[in-house]
């Protein structure tokens, strides 16, 4: 592992082809692996096994190894994974070697919190504009940026590329907003508004939905029943 270099792969090498078509479930876990690796690196740990990393993320180690196998062969049998090297490979795979300009639409309570969220920039997600339709919010400074009218959207996009649009408006406005974002050429949307969005093919939408998460918890809480609080009493997940 100490002599690892980023050698060019031959066509016969499987690892290159492995770059293609990563399962969606795997993609969703890569950021968690990366986060756990970053925490290990901060603790000065240079190497870890799949068992150790899997434990940190609460997944089966076979699943972890299978996930990583879609990226290539970045471990060393009998030894484990080099924390920095694996971090680099995952970051590259996710696309974190470049900057991702973000606009936030809707600067209410949530939009404020998002604009002030420090971790936002940490991974190359750079907030380039805050937009709101309400005149009383425009020109306010939030998280170091001046709120602009939503109608400035096209000007913002003309000024420089925008990769991701974050929707933090009320549900009623969200479809209109996403239509404008898509028309302006933005193809990735993160939706905090509690409503389903319709978008053309080729546009990715992820949603973050507090109310749905609470309802899922309520469902399971209800099923637990009052007396039977612990289904499988003894075992504790480390």
Specify burial of residue 36 (Cβ count, 10 A radius: 0-12, 13-18, 19+): buried
110 is an annotated ligand-binding site residue: yes
Q: Which is nearer to a second copy, 1 or 45 (CB)?
A: 45
Q: Where are the alpha helices (DSSP H) in 78-170?
A: 83-94, 109-116, 119-122, 153-159
CA angle 114, 116, 121 (to 5 degrees): 85
Q: From DNA, a second copy, none, which one binds at residue 211 (CB under 5 to 8 Å depending on kind)?
A: a second copy
Taking CB under 7 A as the rule, does residue 51 contact DNA? yes
Taking CB under 7 A as the rule, does residue 25 contact DNA? yes
Q: How is residue 168 written in tokens?
A: 């933090």
Specify burial of residue 78 (Cβ count, 10 A radius: 0-12, 13-18, 19+): exposed
Specify burial of residue 22 (Cβ count, 10 A radius: 0-12, 13-18, 19+): middle
Taking CB under 7 A as the rule, does residue 65 contact DNA? yes
| DSSP-assigned beta bridge partners for residue 103 | 129, 165
With CB under 8 A, what is the number of residues at the site for a second copy? 74
The answer for residues whose C-beta is within 8 angstroms of residue 140's C-beta and 6 or more apart is 107, 146, 147
- Torsion (CA) 132, 135, 137, 138 in degrees, nearest 10: 80
Out of 53, 82, 112, 157, the only residue in the binding site for a second copy (CB under 8 A) is 112
Q: From a second copy, DNA, none, which one binds at residue 81 (CB under 5 to 8 Å depending on kind)?
A: DNA
Out of 59, 110, 173, 199, the only residue in the binding site for DNA (CB under 7 A) is 59
Q: Which is nearer to a second copy, 17 or 216 (CB)?
A: 216
State which of positions 70-99 bind DNA (CB under 7 A). Answer: 73-81
Out of 60, 73, 141, 215, the only residue in the binding site for a second copy (CB under 8 A) is 215
72 is an annotated ligand-binding site residue: no
Least gap, CB of 192 to DNA (angstroms): 22
Taking CB under 8 A as the rule, does residue 79 contact a second copy? no
Taking CB under 7 A as the rule, does residue 61 contact DNA? yes
Place of tokens 């492995």: 18
Residues within the interface to DNA (CB under 7 A) = 1, 14, 18, 23-26, 48-51, 59-63, 65-66, 68-69, 73-81
User: From the annotation, which residues make up the binding site for NAD(+)?
Assistant: 106-111
């Amino acid at each position: 592992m100490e002599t690892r270099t980023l050698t060019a792969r031959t066509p016969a090498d499987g690892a290159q082809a492995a770059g293609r078509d990563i399962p969606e479930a795997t993609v969703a876990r890569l950021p968690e692996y990366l986060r756990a690796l970053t925490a290990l690196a901060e603790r000065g740990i240079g190497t870890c096994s799949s068992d150790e990393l899997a434990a940190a993320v609460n997944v089966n180690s076979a699943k972890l190894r299978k996930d990583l196998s879609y990226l290539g062969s970045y471990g060393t049998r009998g030894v484990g994974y080099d924390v920095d090297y694996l971090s680099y490979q995952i970051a590259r795979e996710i696309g974190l070697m470049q900057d991702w300009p973000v606009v936030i639409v809707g600067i209410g309570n949530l939009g404020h919190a998002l604009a002030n969220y420090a971790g936002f920039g940490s991974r190359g997600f750079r907030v380039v504009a805050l937009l709101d339709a309400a005149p009383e919010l425009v020109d306010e400074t939030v998280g170091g940026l001046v709120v602009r009218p939503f109608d400035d959207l096209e000007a913002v996009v003309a000024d420089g590329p925008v990769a991701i649009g974050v929707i933090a408006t009320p549900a009623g406005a969200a479809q209109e907003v996403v239509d404008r974002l898509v028309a302006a050429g933005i193809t990735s949307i993160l939706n905090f508004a509690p409503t389903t969005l319709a978008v053309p093919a080729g546009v990715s939408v992820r949603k973050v939905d507090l109310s749905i998460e609470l309802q899922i918890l309520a469902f399971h809480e209800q099923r637990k029943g009052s007396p039977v609080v612990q289904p499988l009493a003894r075992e504790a997940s480390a």
